[in-house]
Structure 1
Amino acid sequence: MKPLPAPSPTSVRITGDHYQWLIAWSGCLTLLRENAIHAANPVISVGVEADDAGNLDDVVLRRRTPPHTYSQVKYTVSSATPVNEEYLTKPSPTGGPSILKKIAKTWRTLTADGIDVDLAIITNRAPDPSDPLIAVRDARTQLLLPKAADGTARSKTGQARTRWAQNADLTDTELHDLLSRLRFDLSRELAHVHEHLQLLMAVCGLRNDSHAVDEGANWVAQRVRDGHRTITLDMVKEAVDTLDLRTGPAHAILSIATLKPDPLADEADHTINWIDRFETDSAYTKRRPLVPATWTQLQNDIESAPAHLPGRSDVSVSGSLRLAPAFLTGTAFRMVTGADLAVLQRGELWSTRDTYDADCEPTVNEHDIGQGDDLAIGINVTVKAHDFTQDVLEYLREQNIPASRLLILTPPAGPQDRSVLDSHAANALAVGIRDALRRPARTHPRIHLFLACPMGLALLLGHRWNRLRPTVVYEDVGTANVYEPAFFVHA
């Protein structure tokens, strides 16, 4: 690919403005969604270059009850300067106060009446891994604390704290208080911001194509040009109607991450973060809990999730999870509870609300086991038929699972990659599988369930797992035995 020419100053300024409008549109979506799901303390307005917000006025989220969020948005076309002490403490190009000193002054002003605040630097600049304080940033909270408070005054960390405090005209205690509220939201590349907004628009029940994202950002830009520094809920609702963005209801967000960080975790109404509690450092090889963590603990966390969500029947599951946890999540919000579930699958929202013309009746193949009274079921949508069947049969026999027979269910055209293309097809197949199993399962005390399908289908199937027998759900853990029991689901 031929390199692009160096950007002009005008291009840099326009891109930087667009970056800020995208961040502001994200705040508008939070405003819209939190009020739609009746969140406990929703955002009530979004400020853009707000008055009385000092150096943190780029995007301000005002909530019904403080703390409000005050953000400084910084964009650069060059990665030559990371976020570090030099970047934060050097004077401005005109010789004015440093970024850190401006933030400290704003913080003092905003908290002069004793009201707490949430502060953020949002930028596409990367953190400097060699900086004593920035390097200890907690990726989960985006805060430098608690590790930035470690070490004596003579340590590298302590000496850096002293320099920061002197630059900002703060005492050591004041610097600690500031750092307990100042989030460093770093490495937010323009492409990542776009992707994040597409996810957020989907769970808001809006069109989430790239054009829709830009329409939202451009709408914010026009409001600013028209002199509106405060964007209200009514203004955002009007924009949604004017831009024809609405596709469905807004969802409460349940974030479950077992493989890699969830881009929507910060917006989630409830978060289950098991990334560090699963084996290996690679998202591609994480398959089972890391001792002492157990499947039972994960099941308890997932099954308690409904109690942590706002009183809303529409729930969107975000994050990264394997098939057994996805199925279990579906059963935690199964249809008989009145909940409607949605999940992002390949960038599209698969929802239990989506209709279809007719149930998709699966093909059923039966294999004799003769080891007990239970029923083994394999649902294979994506794996070569012979390989999946042999893996399940070998596991059942080697582990002496007390099953009398194994039923293998596949789509009518057989298992293949992308055999379920969209939400409508997934719902039709989930209902067809459930209905095909109800009568055969009646005479068995227990089901042993093995899955090879899209994650979204596993969730939709769990949602409809009613009028069936108690079920042991197995996970493919990539060992010599292939599977291990993960969860037990009551009928």
Structure 2
Amino acid sequence: MLKQAMHSVISEDAVPTNQKVNIHTEINEFPEEPRKINFLWEPFFGGKERKYPEAVVWTEELYNNVVATKKWVEMNRSSKRIRLSGHRRLSSAMVIGAVFSSVSGFTIEAELREGAIWATNKHPNSQTPGCDFAVEFEEGLGKHLIVTIGITRDSIADEVTSYLEGEKLSYSPKLYLHTESPITTAEQANLVINKLKKEVKAVATKVDAEKVHLFYAGPAHLALFLGHRWNGLPPVQCYEWINTGQYSPTCTF
């Protein structure tokens, strides 16, 4: 059954090997690279209008396909090093990071548009520049925690507040995090993710959160790194930005 599920995304030429596992995500059509595991995710890119599938479709199709791919890799490859290329939305990047997680023993090398490659095992050292975050916590009701993260832009808190207005979640506790500093290296990305995770975990523990609703604005590769180290935190509901004050719920994991 698992082999049948993987047939549509894995080429017959993708034979067991101890080399890196190449995964490519595409919007319109597959490249002619048979030795890559290819995902065609046009519905999950949304087009110019940013029209996305229902949240249940994100989870049942995109998330579950990535989980099946992980199982296939563990059964058929000796390597747990993923080489990731292509195009994808923030939620898709987060899912790939979370499924091929650090605690599962995976390392992900992400190809950036500029041609650079950022690896999730590039850890910060004493020379890694810091990154200061503005942190604001707002008390609320219930065990669903709203988290907003803005990278190299002002806080997205106002947009999220507008989106949640009149909804039950508008009364939930909220954690707002943002920085105007760019993230320039994989080492700095891991430093930033560690800080973000620490802040989220502390507040999630404080409010006894059962679920995190994540609104993120920033580079996709940082979303990948965040998903890669999401372990130890409550389940997360991701969202994609549509327009000012408008979001669409996507994956839950």
User: Is the TM-score greater than 0.5?
Assistant: yes
Q: In structure 1, what residue type is equivalent to 2:20?
A: H
Which residue is 2:5 aligned to? none
The offset of 1:428, in angstroms, is 1.3
Q: How does 1:231-270 map to 2 (within 5 A)?
A: 251-257=20-26, 259-261=27-29, 266-270=33-37
* TM-score normalized with structure 2 length: 0.79
Q: Check 1:437–1:369 CA distance in 2 against 1; reply closer, same or farther (3 A cut).
A: closer
- Residue deviations 1:200-256, cap 9 Å, x none? xxxxxxxxxxxxxxxxxxxxxxxxxxxxxxxxxxxxxxxxxxxxxxxxx96211112
Matches of 1:466 and 1:250, distance apart in 2: 26
The offset of 1:437, in angstroms, is 1.9
Which residue is 1:375 aligned to? 145
Q: In structure 2, what residue type is equivalent to 1:379?
A: I
Q: In structure 2, what residue type is equivalent to 1:308?
A: W
Q: Check 1:428–1:317 CA distance in 2 against 1; reply closer, same or farther (3 A cut).
A: same
> In the alignment, does 2:162 pair up with 1:394?
yes
Which residue is 1:40 aligned to? 15
The offset of 1:422, in angstroms, is 1.8
Q: Is the 8 A contact 2:147 2:176 kept in 1?
A: yes
Q: Check 1:290–1:313 CA distance in 2 against 1; reply closer, same or farther (3 A cut).
A: same
Q: Check 1:268–1:454 CA distance in 2 against 1; reply closer, same or farther (3 A cut).
A: farther
Which residue is 1:432 aligned to? 195
* TM-score normalized with structure 1 length: 0.43
Secondary structure at the aligned position of 1:376 is classed as: strand
Q: In structure 1, what residue type is equivalent to 2:140?
A: G
Which residue is 1:356 aligned to? 124
Q: In structure 2, what residue type is equivalent to 1:351?
A: A
Which residue is 1:320 aligned to? 87
Matches of 1:458 and 1:326, distance apart in 2: 6
Secondary structure at the aligned position of 2:187 is classed as: helix
Share of identical aligned residues, percent? 24
Secondary structure at the aligned position of 1:401 is classed as: helix
Instruction: Give ranges in structure 1 of 5+ residues lacking alignment.
Output: 1-38, 43-248
Q: Cα RMSD between the aligned structures? A: 2.7
Matches of 2:40 and 2:103, distance apart in 1: 27
Which residue is 1:463 aligned to? 228
Q: How does 1:268-417 map to 2 (within 5 A)?
A: 268-275=35-42, 278-280=45-47, 285=48, 287-289=50-52, 294-296=57-59, 297-309=61-73, 310-345=77-112, 346-357=114-125, 360=130, 362-368=132-138, 370-385=140-155, 388-401=156-169, 404-410=172-178, 414-415=179-180
The offset of 1:302, in angstroms, is 2.2
Q: Check 1:467–1:278 CA distance in 2 against 1; reply closer, same or farther (3 A cut).
A: closer
Matches of 2:117 and 2:78, distance apart in 1: 21
> In the alignment, does 2:211 pair up with 1:422?
no
Secondary structure at the aligned position of 1:420 is classed as: coil
Which one has the bigger strand percentage? Answer: 2
Q: How does 1:114-125 map to 2 (within 5 A)?
A: none
Q: In structure 1, what residue type is equivalent to 2:191?
A: A
The offset of 1:279, in angstroms, is 3.9
Q: In structure 1, what residue type is equivalent to 2:94?
A: F
Which one has the bigger helix percentage? Answer: 1
Secondary structure at the aligned position of 2:213 is classed as: strand
Matches of 1:356 and 1:439, distance apart in 2: 22
The offset of 1:366, in angstroms, is 2.3
Instruction: Give ranges in structure 2 of 5+ residues lacking alignment.
Output: 1-13
Matches of 1:250 and 1:354, distance apart in 2: 19
Which residue is 1:7 aligned to? none
The offset of 1:415, in angstroms, is 2.2
Q: In structure 1, what residue type is equivalent to 2:133?
A: T
Matches of 1:277 and 1:483, distance apart in 2: 14
Matches of 1:398 and 1:286, distance apart in 2: 25
The offset of 1:294, in angstroms, is 2.7
Q: Is the 8 A contact 1:254 1:270 kept in 2?
A: yes
Matches of 1:256 and 1:423, distance apart in 2: 21
Matches of 2:44 and 2:149, distance apart in 1: 27
Secondary structure at the aligned position of 1:294 is classed as: helix
Q: Is the 8 A contact 1:278 1:286 kept in 2?
A: no
- Residue deviations 1:423-453, cap 9 Å, x none? 1211111122112222211221111111111
Q: Larger relative contact order (C-alpha < 8 A, sep ≥ 6)?
A: 2
Which residue is 1:473 aligned to? 238
Q: Check 1:370–1:483 CA distance in 2 against 1; reply closer, same or farther (3 A cut).
A: same
- Residue deviations 1:290-348, cap 9 Å, x none? 58x93232222222221233331100121111111111110001111000112112211
Query: Looking at CA atoms only, which structure, 1 or 2, has the larger radius of gyration?
Result: 1
Secondary structure at the aligned position of 1:395 is classed as: helix
Matches of 2:233 and 2:171, distance apart in 1: 16
Q: Check 1:430–1:277 CA distance in 2 against 1; reply closer, same or farther (3 A cut).
A: closer
